[in-house]
Amino acid sequence: MAKIMLRENDEGKVLFYLAKRDMEEIIDTIEFDTEEKWGGDVHLTNGDIWNIAPQPKKLPDEVVAKIVKRGDND
């Protein structure tokens, strides 16, 4: 489990920032993407898949996420 910072960039894309690895990626796809239920498995542009417990969408936010699969772009 890791603490992740989430925020929207100027283009409306959600940025996923993991300070421990100084990694910032754009969320490419997300399992649940409504205002009431946001999260689930998120696919990042580097190929990683992380899981964020679904919750109401509130950005910027700090959430706890769990790595599901590392991407091939390490």
Residue 54, both tokens: 């679904």
Chain center to CA of 25 = 8
6-24 pLDDT, tens per residue?
999 999 999 999 999 999 9
pLDDT in tens, 14-61: 999 999 999 999 999 999 999 999 999 999 999 999 999 999 999 999
Domains with residue ranges and CATH for the chain:
2-69 (2.40.50.240)
